[in-house]
Structure 1
Amino acid sequence: MQQTRLFSQGCTVLLALTFSPFSQAYQYDQAARLINERLSYMKDVAGYKAEKHLAIEDQEQEKKVLLQSTAEAESFGLDGQSAAPFIIAQMDAAKAIQYRYRADWLSTPEKNWQPQDLSEVRTKISALNTALLKNIAYDLKRNNNRAPSHCAYMWPVQQPNLRDADKRILCQTLNQIRLK
């Protein structure tokens, strides 16, 4: 009897959470995980570029990524124009992290560490971008084209040299993405 009542209460709470605005708190958990994984490669990117004396900013690569990602976003049913600011915000956060690593290495060089090859890292980042855009489209379709009205899902994103301001911009631009 006691177990049945507890089970019933648990189901009621679960249903209430599933159909309440609170359920949107979990909407972009997977997106946050993918963003975190994407940003985890920035140390390798910064290290490779430092080792090869390459600039952090690569405008040609950024244009290529923006065009490819916007086209992918549209292929998944997202409005490409609403996705572009988020794609740019990801690249900006990535560059900020790289600059911060490079600045740190001026006074304290990294020892006993080798960055991964840039082409391999870019392949991994591209796959993560694809998975991220698919996930955003899935979440928006599942939630009637409604994004969360908060940024709580973004705070677990934790990477060295990533600032709260970077996460706030990522969240704001992610929350503006809409379906076509």
Structure 2
Amino acid sequence: MGSKLTGGLLLLAGMLFSATSMAMQTQNDDVGALINQRLSYMKDVAGYKASNHLPIEDLHQEDRVLFDSMLEAEKLGLDRESVTPFIRAQMDVAKAIQYRYRADWLSLPETGWKPQPLDKVRNSISVLNSRILAAIRAGLSTDEACADKNKFIQQLNQTHLKDSDKELLWRSLGKIKLKNDK
């Protein structure tokens, strides 16, 4: 009986610590670092699509991402209309990176590397989308939502990411508001 009780208490303590840790992580997440992490998956997405002869642009998937992001934004108390351009900007930048990888591979195919399965990558991106929106919400609550443009720009360091992509992300991020802000 004692070992069952101890095991149960350890499990409960672990779950509590995990939830507390995740809450603190979300609070301390840096929007720029999270966006950079999201963009780091674009090589895998491009590689998977190339090896499976799939187009880069997948409007059905983009609609799902936008829909899910809008639901998440509303739950977090973000203004839906102000979030939409940011979500679209992330998707447009992601597609641009994929196109640039594919263009490179036309003349110099990637060797010794295999992309992760697309469903696994999309799940990881979905989790990051939620973390990005939560970090934006936390920042807006404290008036610290990406206050430092230079830091934000420096955090975005993925291959095939252009300065114009970074500016697009920065501008669209700066337009996000809380639901009740005018």
TM-score grouping bracket, smaller chain normalisation: 0.7 to 0.9
Corresponding residue for residue 126 of structure 1: 126
Corresponding residue for residue 174 of structure 1: 173
Corresponding residue for residue 59 of structure 1: 59
Q: Deviations over 1:122-174 (max 9, x none)?
A: 0000000000000000000111xx75576223222100000000000000000
Runs (4+) of structure 1 exceeding 6 A deviation are: none
Give the partner amino acid of 1:117: P
Give the partner amino acid of 1:158: N
Contact 1:46 1:56 in 2 (8 A): yes
Q: Deviations over 1:8-39 (max 9, x none)?
A: xxxxxxxxxxxxxxxxxxxx970000000000
Corresponding residue for residue 8 of structure 1: none
* Aligned length in residues: 151
Could you tell me how far apart the structure 2 residues matched to 1:127 and 1:114 are? 22
User: What runs of 5+ residues in structure 1 fail to find an aligned partner?
Assistant: 1-27
Could you tell me how far apart the structure 2 residues matched to 1:92 and 1:160 are? 15
Contact 2:139 2:146 in 1 (8 A): no
Give how far 1:71 is off: 1.1
Contact 1:151 1:168 in 2 (8 A): no
Contact 2:85 2:172 in 1 (8 A): yes
Corresponding residue for residue 73 of structure 1: 73
Corresponding residue for residue 160 of structure 1: 159
Q: Deviations over 1:48-88 (max 9, x none)?
A: 00000000000000011001101101111100110000000
Contact 1:76 1:134 in 2 (8 A): yes
Could you tell me how far apart the structure 2 residues matched to 1:52 and 1:29 are? 34
User: What runs of 5+ residues in structure 2 fail to find an aligned partner?
Assistant: 1-27
Contact 1:46 1:101 in 2 (8 A): yes
* Percent of residue pairs identical: 54
